[in-house]
């Protein structure tokens, strides 16, 4: 006889410019979610302003909590919150609210590493078993990670300078496309010729899984400054730039698969997460390559690729399977600079 016990967690995410609250259960049901993005308050400054983000989290957190029915709040088994990495102001807001709720409702409190939550999110939406490979491509990170369990993350390679998202944002800024640059640049690339401009592919000749995007960024900016008056420049350049990033990511994933093969590690699933995963061209190219290797490309929906509390809740539930959480332990230390595998 199987006895199914439903466990629920209330989770809070506030590490950057999204305030999000969710209730998730161990049967992968997102019972409740509210995510409010602050982008419009940062737009004029060309990037996220930490002080504005912190104040927005305070205001919005209050509002989203008031919207959450008390009955639902009382029904959860755990409270979880992102404790890092991220901007300190937002992390303090989220952690303090979670701590307050845990004390008030007498629930165990689970601090969650935001990056690990991203990497575990494929398991929230599909039947993905350990170990699996994930490409994390966001504004702050670019890394290829082998996820061995809910607690073990092996970094096969990461960027030695800029992240892919940063490269998109900086190049888009020079093109005058505003912030965030990634989605705007993707739009510009529609109908462009991906082979019209030749861009460098730093570090792709070395057979490792590390990335470098700063040289590509500098070369791209130089091209913009010298060719921007040409006919159809924007769409041809944006298309070529996107093609370059996509092919770099593909080469490095290829290297990662070789590393796994050498170590006799068999994976059935691959996933891509973080903001850049929203890019259709990158998704298409990587999916095609991964499927050609007889590996399943597990797609995380857009709403769960960007910052959200559902993945934080899911991470807490994954941990709850292996760790017994103590009540009356309300330690949560907002930490801006934790690593993927901390
Ligand atoms: O994971 P994320 O939402 O948060 C941070 O890490 O801050 O990633 C944001 C990054 C930004 O650099 C943004 O330009 C990029 O993801 N991004 C994209 C696209 N949508 C978001 N880059 C390329 N194409 C897109 N469609």
Q: Concatenated DSSP letters for 237-286?
A: HHHHHHHHHHHHHHHHHHHHHHHHHHTT---SEEEEESGGGG-HHHHHHH
Q: What pLDDT is stored for residue 46 in this prediction?
A: 82
pLDDT > 80? residue 180? yes
* Confidence (pLDDT) at 176: 94
Percent of the chain with pLDDT over 70: 99
> What's the gap in Å between 272 CA and the centre of ligand 1?
12
pLDDT at 4: 80
Residue 43's pLDDT band, with cuts at 50, 70 and 90, is: confident
In this structure, are residues 205 and 258 in contact, taking their beta carbons and an 8 Å threshold?
no
Nearest to 291, CA basis, from 276, 312, 269 = 269
| CA of 248 relative to ligand 1 center, distance in Å | 17
Q: Determine the residue of 180, 273, 312, 336 to mutate for testing ligand 1's pocket, defined as the one with the most ligand atoms within 8 A of the Cβ atom.
A: 180
Ligand 1 pocket residue status of 183, Cβ below 6 Å:
yes
Q: Whose CA is nearest to atom 10 of ligand 1?
A: 139
What number is the average pLDDT over the span 133-161? Answer: 96
Mean pLDDT (whole number) for 76-86: 97
User: Does the Cβ of 19 fall within 6 Å of ligand 1?
Assistant: no
Residue nearest ligand 1's atom 3 by CA: 275
pLDDT(68) > 80: yes
Secondary structure letter of residue 159 according to DSSP: B
Residue 61 CA to residue 57 CA, distance in Å, equals: 6
The confidence score (pLDDT) of residue 233 equals: 96
Does 38 have pLDDT greater than 70? yes
Three-state secondary-structure class, residue 217: helix
- If pLDDT is split at 50, 70 and 90, which confidence band does 1 have? low
What's the CA-to-centroid distance between 105 and ligand 1, angstroms?
36
Is pLDDT of 2 > 70? no
DSSP 49-74: -HHHHHHHHHHHHHHHHHHS-HHHHH
Query: Taking residues 129-134, what's their average pLDDT?
Result: 98
pLDDT over threshold 90, residue 174: yes
- Report the pLDDT value the prediction gives residue 196, as an integer from 0 to 100: 96
pLDDT class of 327 with cuts at 50, 70, 90: confident
Average pLDDT over residues 82-98: 98
DSSP annotation of 158 reads E
Least confident of 96-100, 118-122, 319-323: 319-323
Q: Is the pLDDT of residue 323 over 90?
A: no
The terminus-to-terminus CA distance of the chain in angstroms comes to: 38
Q: What is the pLDDT of residues 194-232, one digit of tens each?
A: 999 999 999 999 899 999 999 999 999 999 999 989 999
Rounded distance between C-alpha atoms, residue 173 and residue 162, angstroms:
15
pLDDT, averaged across the chain? 95
Q: Residues 72-84: what's their mean pLDDT? A: 96
Ligand 1 neighbour 180 (Cβ under 6 A)? yes
Q: What is the pLDDT of residue 328?
A: 81
Give pLDDT tens digits for 237-268: 999 999 999 999 999 999 999 999 999 999 99
CB 201 within 8 A of CB 214: no
Give kind and range of the element (H or E) at residue 18. Answer: strand 18-25
Which atom, in ligand 1's list, is nearest to the CA of 17? 7
pTM: 0.94
pLDDT number for residue 144: 98
Q: How many residues does the chain have?
A: 342
Whether ligand 1 lies within 6 angstroms of the CB of 138 is answered as yes
């Amino acid at each position: 006889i199987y006895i199914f016990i439903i466990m629920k967690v209330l989770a809070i995410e506030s590490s950057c410019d999204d305030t999000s609250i969710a209730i998730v259960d161990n049967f992968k049901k997102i019972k409740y979610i509210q995510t409010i993005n602050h982008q419009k308050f940062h737009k004029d400054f060309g990037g996220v302003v930490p002080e504005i983000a912190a104040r927005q989290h305070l205001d919005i957190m209050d509002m989203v909590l008031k919207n959450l029915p008390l009955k639902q709040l009382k029904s959860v088994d755990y409270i979880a919150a992102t404790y890092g990495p991220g901007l300190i102001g937002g992390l303090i807001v989220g952690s303090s609210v979670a701590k307050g709720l845990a004390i008030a409702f007498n629930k165990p409190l689970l601090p969650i590493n935001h990056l690990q939550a991203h990497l575990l999110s494929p398991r929230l939406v599909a039947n993905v078993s350990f170990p699996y490979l994930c490409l994390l491509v966001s504004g702050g990170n670019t890394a290829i990670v082998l996820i061995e369990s809910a607690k073990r993350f092996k970094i096969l390679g990461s960027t030695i300078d800029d992240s892919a998202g940063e490269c998109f944002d900086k190049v888009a800024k020079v093109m005058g496309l505003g912030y965030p640059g990634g989605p705007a640049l993707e739009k510009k690339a529609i109908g462009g010729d991906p082979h019209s401009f030749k861009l460098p592919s730093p570090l792709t000749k070395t057979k490792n899984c590390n990335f470098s995007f700063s040289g590509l960024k500098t070369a791209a900016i130089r091209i913009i400054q010298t060719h921007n008056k040409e006919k159809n420049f924007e769409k041809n350049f944006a298309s070529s730039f996107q093609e370059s990033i996509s092919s770099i990511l593909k080469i490095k994933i290829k290297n990662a698969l070789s590393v796994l093969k050498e170590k006799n590690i068999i994976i059935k699933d691959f996933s891509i997460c973080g903001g850049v995963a929203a890019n259709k061209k990158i998704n298409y190219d990587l999916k095609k390559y991964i499927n050609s290797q007889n590996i399943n490309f597990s797609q995380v929906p857009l709403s769960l690729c960007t910052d959200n509390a559902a993945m934080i809740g899911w991470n807490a539930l994954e941990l709850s399977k292996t760790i017994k959480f103590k009540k009356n332990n309300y330690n949560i230390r907002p930490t801006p600079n934790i690593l993927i595998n901390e």
